[in-house]
Structure 1
Amino acid sequence: MLVAGSPCSPAGPEEHRGCGARRGGQERGIEAARELARGPSAFIPVGEIPQEGGESSLHQLLEAFVSAGRVDHVAMVMGLHPQYLSSFWKTQYLLLRMDGPLPYHKRHYIAIMAAARHRCSYLVGLHMREFLQVGGSPAWLQGLHCAPQKLRNLNEINKLLAHRPWLVTKEHIEALLRPGQDSWSLAELVQALVLLTHYHSLASFVFGCGIRPEGEGFALQGVNVPWGALWGCPWESQIDAMQEVEVLMERMKLLQENQLEEEGVTQEEMATRFELEKTESLLVPSSDILDPSLQSNIRCFLEDPEFGYKDFTRRGEQAPPTFRAQDYTWEDHGYSLINRLYPDVGQLLDEKFQVVYNLTYNTIAMHCGVDTSVLRRAIWNYVHCVFGIRYDDYDYGEVNQLLERNLKVYIKTVACYPERTTKQIYAQFWRHFKHSEKVHINLLLLEARMQAALLYALRAVTRYMT
């Protein structure tokens, strides 16, 4: 599905073999710990991540270096998929460093506000430094209460877009644009909305891939990682993991054959299957209690910190009202609105969405020559589903056939509560797949989540304008 380099080698180097490849005892476990701890990810062995000198992604990593002044850990992990990395960095460069309605220091402050909603200390710290480098006032970094009222007014829509974007209405847009000393222009607000959704989604990627802050030493920084989960799985579960691959392959084949034979289901049945997926509950343990150990440099940028994604059916409440994708699409509505109000960024966002949605190496685990389109579509549509977006022409029964329970737990956690992502839930799904394939899932998650939130935000803007 996703592998950079030479995906078709049946086993690959020792580090890539997964189950049983490293059963070498305590000394090997210590080596493994050190190798992992040095790398940019707490989840992925450093040997599997391209370095600055790597051939396949050197050009893209250098682009990242030029635009950001360094190759950071996010870029190194994204470098497993160079085509996507290039598209991502062009977009982020435009958002942060090219001409636009907002001054540079305010762009970084908005990034801080967005990342803080998910307690993402990696991104908060990064943009605090960037904020100061472009001339931002150190006083603002004492907390949201020290920022100008105009920025503080973004707090409500920041909170909603991060956790419950379906609650964003034209009234929220109207309140921000209302004439006055602290009012936003429409162009400024659109840039802010793109920045907020970009950094909420990037926080999902940071947590989903276990991105570690630059400059950390050998310590695993408190991450509780069972060595067996990192360097292989017990021999008795190796067969199970291989069977998972074969079952998935067979289901993908059957679905593709059924599509060719035009064996459809009724619209009513498809609507029912969507509602079942949307209201699926108890997959992810939920807690709305703010972590008392939350760093002060994050807490100070949060108002209403207990507000989060709502796990509806667990509390006996109704799921979000269905957003019918056909009524307000990215292609027909969102793209043109952004391009009109914030030139160039619409084109780059569209390219980024298309790159990740269509990205494939025609491999899956140890198999080559595989059409993975149904699997990529199931992942994308499941992310949209948990945010209440339904495609009338999609059979959500495919989600249950292709996404096993552990994968659904992972997707929902990373998309809705990324700060709760653990090494354990990363290790438990797709146990016989390569790390690069799991990174690809995170890229799909990042972009599907961003597009979902943007659709809600831009729909509200459109309603305000009309």
Structure 2
Amino acid sequence: MIICTNKMEYPLRSQCQRVQKQAMVSKEKERASRVLMKSALGRGSVDAVSQQMASHPQYLESFLRAQHYILHMDGPLPLPCRHYIAIMAAARHHCNYLVYLHSAQFLRLGGDPLWLQGLEAAPPRLRLLDHINKVLAHQPWLAACSHIKTLLKCGESCWSLAELVQAVVILAHCHSLCSFVFGSNADSGHPAPPSKSPNGTPPTLCAFDAANGNPNGPLCLDNAAEQMTRRWSVDSSSDVLCLKERIHRAQEERDKREERMLHAQTLQQADVEEDDEMMCFADPSRFVTDPDFDYQDFARRDEDHFQVFRVQDYSWEDHGFSLANRLYSDIGHLLDERFRSVTAVTSPHGPELKRAVWNYIHCMLGIRYDDYDYGEVDRLLERDLKVYIKAVACFPDPSRSSARPLGWAPLKTSERIHVNLLIMEARLQAELLYALRAITQYMVA
């Protein structure tokens, strides 16, 4: 009897575990739904990036919270300028998706449309960011104290330290987000321009109506009442009052048709203007100087010229966090929450693989950890995975790639997205470390 009871415990325990697992999955889905709903209420729609990240709702919350704070909450930079800096950052990687979104936000917040004609049309202060933007996007190890000094000591166009820190955070945020957009194919959600009616005909009219004499067409508007009057005048059974009433109604109908025609032409003109505006959004090259400047391998043989960035000397936890938080209130906490959230995401591959991905990206960007055995990278990361990581982290530019980076193994969608999140956050932290170290060097010089 006792043996029988013990045998029955296992299926009951297994069933209980399944119920608990289903409850956890349901809870995570509900949380993801709440996050997306908040995102939709804030922007009027759910963007493709949030949809991709929704499989990891805890991380998505921290990402949206930080992004909202950077772009929309109190800070030293005006809101339109923040989105213009984001356009500059996304343009370095020819990310049409982000260039379009931030262009729309820039105009919505009252930004000058002339600035969208190209970088040369922007104010001198914003143009001064071009060099640090280029360096952080492709070769962040080149960021130097001299670059910071140029921005802070340039006469009427000079930046304050607080403004510069916020600008650097926006640049790094958008550069790394380009990697996620590229790796997850999120830019396939780029809105298409509004379609125009054939042959330039107003959208409320059929292209064949005018040619076939349809009274709704433009060719028949002028003589519609005349034709009706001629028909009614030969009808001997119609009295004068009835004839006048019909003529009056015909005139009113004619006026209404002309009004509809004018409205349709106005809509058509608006569509043409919107097409031109969207073409402006979709051309990142006008915000890019020195387009040949790109990522170069940071090799050990270059140590004499570019010293390896050792985390033991300058780390996010001990140095970058406090400096960022001091010059740009609360941003350190929000960024730190992002870094912690992405490493806390549940993964079947364990923490060793997460650390291998993170440290491999930092290694490619010249950052090394003295307490880490880099043999783990070769042991844990397959060659195809390493090729994928390098492509997404260092070359997230569809204009320079013949095809999107191929997947390395048949993984679940959520696992693939998690790897893309690790790439994004590791790159974000690397750029911030280089920029904040350069600012620190300027402050203590």
Query: What is the TM-score of this pair, normalised by structure 1?
Result: 0.67
Cα shift at 1:110: 0.2
1:295–1:349 CA distance, 2 compared to 1 (3 A): closer
Q: Aligned partners of 1:389 and 1:87: how far apart in 2?
A: 25
Cα shift at 1:62: 1.5
Match in the other structure for 1:272: none
Match in the other structure for 2:132: 157
Q: Aligned partners of 2:346 and 2:306: how far apart in 1?
A: 32
Match in the other structure for 1:440: 418
* Structure 2 counterparts to residues 264-283 of structure 1, below 5 A: none
Match in the other structure for 1:171: 146
Match in the other structure for 2:406: 426
Match in the other structure for 2:112: 137
Cα shift at 1:55: 3.1
Cα shift at 1:80: 1.1
Deviations 1:162-214 (A, max 9, x none): 00000001110010000511000100000000000000000000001011224
Q: Aligned partners of 1:373 and 1:117: how far apart in 2?
A: 32
Match in the other structure for 1:36: none
2:71 to 89, 96, 100: 96
Q: Does 2:362 align with 1:384?
A: yes
Q: Aligned partners of 2:38 and 2:376: how far apart in 1?
A: 38
Q: Does 2:103 align with 1:124?
A: no
Counterpart of 1:88, as a letter, is F
Q: Does 2:428 align with 1:450?
A: yes
2:45 to 53, 57, 70: 70
Counterpart of 2:318, as a letter, is D
Deviations 1:240-259 (A, max 9, x none): xxxxxxxxxxxxxxxxxxxx
Identity %: 54
Counterpart of 1:444, as a letter, is L
Which structure has the bigger radius of gyration?
2
Indicate conservation of the 8 Å contact 1:67/1:93, yes or no: no
Cα shift at 1:299: 0.9
Q: Does 2:393 align with 1:407?
A: no
Q: Aligned partners of 1:332 and 1:68: how far apart in 2?
A: 36
Deviations 1:310-363 (A, max 9, x none): 13569x8668421001100000100000110001111000000011022215x3
Q: Aligned partners of 2:68 and 2:302: how far apart in 1?
A: 41
Indicate conservation of the 8 Å contact 1:208/1:426, yes or no: no
1:357 to 332, 337, 343: 343
Cα shift at 1:450: 0.4
Equivalent pairs counted in the alignment come to 330
1:449–1:138 CA distance, 2 compared to 1 (3 A): same
Counterpart of 1:301, as a letter, is F
Counterpart of 1:62, as a letter, is M
Q: Aligned partners of 2:402 and 2:387: how far apart in 1?
A: 11
Cα shift at 1:296: 6.8
Match in the other structure for 2:237: none
1:54–1:355 CA distance, 2 compared to 1 (3 A): closer
Match in the other structure for 2:287: 301
Aligned-residue RMSD, C-alpha: 2.4
* Structure 2 counterparts to residues 311-322 of structure 1, below 5 A: 311=297, 320-322=306-308
Give 4+ residue runs of structure 1 displaced > 2 Å after superposition. 53-56, 66-69, 213-217, 311-314, 316-321, 420-427
Q: Aligned partners of 2:190 and 2:294: how far apart in 1?
A: 28
Q: Aligned partners of 1:425 and 1:191: how far apart in 2?
A: 32
1:424–1:184 CA distance, 2 compared to 1 (3 A): closer
Match in the other structure for 1:5: none
Cα shift at 1:413: 0.6
Q: Which of 1 and 2 has higher RCO (CA within 8 Å, sep 6+)?
A: 1
SS at match of 1:418: coil
Q: Aligned partners of 1:162 and 1:412: how far apart in 2?
A: 14
1:54–1:376 CA distance, 2 compared to 1 (3 A): closer
Indicate conservation of the 8 Å contact 2:87/2:98, yes or no: yes
Indicate conservation of the 8 Å contact 1:107/1:195, yes or no: yes
Indicate conservation of the 8 Å contact 1:112/1:123, yes or no: yes
Deviations 1:193-241 (A, max 9, x none): 0000000000000001011224459xxxxxxxxxxxxxxxxxxxxxxxx
Indicate conservation of the 8 Å contact 1:208/1:414, yes or no: yes
1:423–1:430 CA distance, 2 compared to 1 (3 A): farther
